[in-house]
Amino acid sequence: MMPRSPLESEILFRIGVIPIARSVVTSTCIVALLAFVSWAITRRFDDRPGRLQTAIEALVVTVGDQVRGVIGRDPEPFLPIIGTLFLFIVIANLSAVVPGVESPTASIETPAALALAVFFSVHVYGVREKGVFRYLASFLKPNPLLLPIRILSELTRTVSLTVRLFGNMMSHELVLGVIAAIAGLLVPIPFLALGVLIGVIQAYIFSILATVYLGAAIGAVEEG
């Protein structure tokens, strides 16, 4: 039997003619888990915060400070997209430590979907900030002849986001699988710890790059 390609998704079932891959099911479960946990925690927020509420507020403040440091303005409008990206990618990356679960970010369609979400969010925030015409006009500066390059840049950085996240997570799972097959189950434990660190770092890098792209879009319109 031929080994499955890293670019090939495992199909669990079909809804009519639509194939549903394992990564889609895992991603859906992660989204549902995040939604439920967020609802369960925030519904008990109080004016006198406990330890859990304090920790969550500290996390929000930390993310906000990172966003402010990149964009240089009030981070509140950007926290929903950046915070959600970071939390989802962290949990998706670390889900591989659960026996029988494959990280959805190790399948190329998930990083591609996340990169497309960033792509559209950048333009939505740009249009919301200065309007359609002023935002589109920013692509013609400083010279209209550079428009094809600007468009190509938008597309290539989306591909870059996809390949960076997918490559790192896929290669880590591949290496861990090879070591487990050769050396047994106990030897990869240090690699699992390393994988946790890699998963968090990759989520941070992806989120920071998304913030940079958002800041660049808003900065471009503000220059006009």
Q: Is 129 helix (H, G, I), strand (E, B) or coil?
A: helix
How high is the pLDDT of residue 206?
92
pLDDT of the residue at 185: 55
- Tell me how many helices (H) and strands (E) the chain has: 7, 2
Q: What angle do CA 24, 29, 30 make, to 5 degrees?
A: 100
* pLDDT number for residue 7: 62
The predicted structure's pLDDT at residue 61: 87
At residue 117, the pLDDT reads 92
* Averaged pLDDT, groups of 10, the chain, 224 residues long: 57 76 86 89 76 83 87 85 91 81 84 92 88 84 82 88 84 65 60 76 90 82 40
Enumerate residues 6+ apart whose C-beta is below 8 A from 84: 34
At 187 the three-state DSSP class reads coil
